[in-house]
């Protein structure tokens, strides 16, 4: 079986190099979003890169996990693994939903989405600051702006079968949902796929 990986918002496939999956992995790289495309619509376009003729799984981190959920609802993979993410819109902070209803994101300039490295590291509780800084330097702010808008207006309420959700107890970006099925990484922040990879690997 193969696993398709989807990285988090503003990140890329470098975040997966610390994971030890006993399967071949294939990166689903970002494609350009359409201006008013929803998260679900984008996910379905991204899913066209998946070979469904053989058994497969999907692993997504943060925003990538939300995309993985939308893809899994349609393609029914053998396994869906979420790290530091949300299964439905109800697991997102209320603030995100409020921002989506206010419809202010389209009017904000791109520089508003360019977090300084020191602030990003604080928010993500990142320990590997060099990797985070390198990733931030390569971030496409147009994509970030679109993605934040898509997240804030996400409507999914369906949870596919065979989901493994791993979440850090100290996540500030998406606080750990109240769900007894979630595998908890004690002290893990939003960047724990890198910083606490050994703990994440213990569940994989």
Q: Which residues of 53-83 are buried (b: 16+ CB within 10 A; e: fewer)?
A: eeebbbbbbbbbbbbbbbbbbebebebbbbb
Mean pLDDT score across all residues of the chain? 90
Model confidence at 97, in pLDDT bands (50, 70, 90)? confident
* Residue 101 predicted with pLDDT over 80: yes
Mean pLDDT across the stretch 170-181? 92
Mean pLDDT across the stretch 111-138? 74
Mean pLDDT across the stretch 59-72? 97
Measure the CA–CA gap between 159 and 171, rounded to whole angstroms: 21
What is 2-203's CATH number?
3.40.50.1820
Contacts 24+ apart (CB under 8 A), 143-149: 143/30, 143/32, 143/33, 144/9, 144/10, 144/113, 145/105, 145/108, 145/110, 145/113, 146/33, 146/35, 146/37, 147/9, 147/33, 147/39, 147/63, 148/9, 148/105, 148/113, 149/100, 149/105, 149/106
Percent of the chain with pLDDT over 70: 100
Model confidence at 42, in pLDDT bands (50, 70, 90)? very high
Model confidence at 47, in pLDDT bands (50, 70, 90)? very high
Q: What pLDDT score was predicted for residue 57? A: 97
Model confidence at 120, in pLDDT bands (50, 70, 90)? confident
Q: What is the pTM of this model?
A: 0.92
- Give domain limits for the chain: 2-203
């Amino acid at each position: 079986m193969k696993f398709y990986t989807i990285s988090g918002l503003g990140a890329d496939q470098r975040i997966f190099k610390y994971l030890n999956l006993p399967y071949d992995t294939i990166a689903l790289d970002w494609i350009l979003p359409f201006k008013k495309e929803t998260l679900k619509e984008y996910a379905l376009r991204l899913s066209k890169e998946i070979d469904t003729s053989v058994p497969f799984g999907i692993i997504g981190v943060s925003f990538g996990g939300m995309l993985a959920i939308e893809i899994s609802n349609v393609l029914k993979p053998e396994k869906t693994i979420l790290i530091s993410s949300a299964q439905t819109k109800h697991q997102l902070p209320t603030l995100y939903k409020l921002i989506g209803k206010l419809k202010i994101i389209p009017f904000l300039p791109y520089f508003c989405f360019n977090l300084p490295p020191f602030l990003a590291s604080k928010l993500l509780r990142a320990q590997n600051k060099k990797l985070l800084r390198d990733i931030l330097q390569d971030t496409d702010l147009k994509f970030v702006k679109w993605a934040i808008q898509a997240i804030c207006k996400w409507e999914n309420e369906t949870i596919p079968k065979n989901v493994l959700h791993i979440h850090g107890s100290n996540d500030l970006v998406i606080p750990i949902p109240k769900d007894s099925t979630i595998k908890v990484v004690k002290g893990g922040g939003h960047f724990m796929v890198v910083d606490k990879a050994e703990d994440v690997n213990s569940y994989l």
